[in-house]
Amino acid sequence: MDKDRIEGAGKQVKGAVKDAVGSVTGDSKMQAEGKMDKAEGKAQNAVGGVKDAARDAVNKDRS
């Protein structure tokens, strides 16, 4: 598993927590930061998925 997938998942969790706390406390800035962290994490996770797929394809060709 690519490190980008792990880091991306972590950012998504962090963003979800910030989004929830911002929503509960009425802090729109924190909520917006949380949404941005979640989106960044999702993108980073997708990049990691592409890297994993490419690595798998190369390894399959070598077999």
Q: Give residue for tokens 């797929």.
A: 53
| Counted domains in the chain | 1
31/25 Cα distance (integer angstroms): 9
Query: Domain of 36?
Result: 3-62
What is residue 1's predicted lDDT score, i.e. its pLDDT?
78
Give the predicted TM-score (pTM) of the model: 0.83
How confident is the model over 3-48, as pLDDT tens digits? 999 999 999 999 999 999 999 999 999 999 999 999 999 999 999 9
Q: Residues for the chain: how many in total? A: 63
